[in-house]
Structure 1
Amino acid sequence: MKKSLLILGFALAVISCNKEAGTSAAGLKTAYVDTSKLVQDYNEFKELESQSKTKQEVMGRELETKVQQFKLEAASFQEEARAKGPQWAQLKGQELQKRERELGMMQESMMKQLQEEFGTKNDTLISKIKKYVKDYGKKNGYDYIYGTGDVVSVMYAKEGYDITSKILKELNDNYKGSAKKEDTATAAPAKEEKK
């Protein structure tokens, strides 16, 4: 009899603990952020992408000039080889092959430089956003904030839980990009003149 009462008491305790856990879990405040939308619409990401494209174009023009010069020399190589003989052709052919390898290495070096520079900046920016979302979650009393987008960790969520636009707005409001710095620099003297 004592054993059955003890088992019944234990069972009731387990059931009541499960009910308490279920009720507190139902009261959790959760939301999600569409990470691909953040990357697409965040002004600092847009500026970083623009800087990357600009630098890539500048470096590409320099390389393209050298490639065009190489192509012109390679095109005239056969005609000159006939006129100057096989010994000259062999030396010039080796020189052209060496320059072609150098151009390939130059292209690889430029790509590596761009990846290192902007990859680091991109990683820093992603870390900044993660920290911001974490702080946002703490400040606004969220128990969980999930991420969706390219790396999906939420398969379904009601639209009411999507806080992407709120976070994006605050990130963009807090970001002082080069365009805003220029605006404040030109706006500051105008305020001083009115005084």
Structure 2
Amino acid sequence: MNKFSLPISVIALAITILSILFFKSSSELVYVDINKLLDGYKRTKIVKAEFEKKAKTMKANVDSLITNWQKELKNYEKERSRMTKKELKLKQELLANKQQQINNYQQAIQKKLGDEDKKVTQTVINDINDFIKEYGKDKGYKVIFGANGSGTIMYAEESSDLTEEVLTALNLEFEGK
């Protein structure tokens, strides 16, 4: 019986050590749901609200220009029977030029808003990425994957999902707590 006790003890010890290493290393591979972080991060809401306010103001400016142009067009329709051919041609050119300028301005505003939306979103993403790097180091994770719902992580145990934990810590840091 003593002949088998030592080998069995060694095997049991080896299995125990391997099990501990396996479970320890598997818990160091975790992920966060990027979309949930973006949606739940309080700074995202603040930045998006500021952006929406600015976008609303810019769109109101465009709408105002369009309304003024439409008024001029109605006045032109009313008064055109009293105009000479030269005046008609000049007014039509002026209205067409003004319409083109408004269209160009509207396109420029849309491009500017699109660029600014990308910029503020990227700023928030950079904040989240920087936070996750520090969070991972502090918590001893080897890898934190980012899942975005498009197949980057096809399966993971729910215990590997750090999203809520990271989101809570991220918001606490943002609020200065």
Q: TM-score range by the shorter chain?
A: 0.7 to 0.9
Q: Does 1:36 align with 2:12?
A: no
More deviation in 75-84 or 167-176? 75-84
Q: Does 1:48 align with 2:64?
A: no
The aligned counterpart of 2:87 is 88
Amino acid at match of 1:88: E
Q: Does 1:126 align with 2:122?
A: no
- Matched residue SS, 2:144: strand
The aligned counterpart of 2:139 is 140
The aligned counterpart of 1:108 is 107
Structure 2 portions without partners, runs of 5+ = 1-19
Residue 103 of structure 1 deviates from its aligned partner by 0.7
Counting aligned pairs with the same residue, the percent is 26
Residue 26 of structure 1 deviates from its aligned partner by 6.2
The aligned counterpart of 1:74 is 73
More deviation in 128-137 or 49-58? 128-137
Q: Distance in 2 between matches of 1:128 and 1:52?
A: 17
The aligned counterpart of 1:187 is none
Q: Distance in 1 between matches of 2:22 and 2:103?
A: 59
The alignment covers a number of residue pairs equal to 158
With structure 1 as the length reference, what TM-score do the two structures score?
0.73
With structure 2 as the length reference, what TM-score do the two structures score?
0.79
String of CA shifts for 1:114-164, please: whole Å, max 9, x gaps.
Answer: 233342232122112112112211111112211112454101111111100
- Matched residue SS, 2:32: strand
String of CA shifts for 1:167-187, please: whole Å, max 9, x gaps.
Answer: 11111111149xx9xxxxxxx
Residue 102 of structure 1 deviates from its aligned partner by 0.8
String of CA shifts for 1:41-90, please: whole Å, max 9, x gaps.
Answer: 11101111111111111111121111111111112323322111222111
Aligned-residue Cα RMSD (Å) equals 2.4
Amino acid at match of 1:138: K
Structure 1 portions without partners, runs of 5+ = 1-22, 181-195
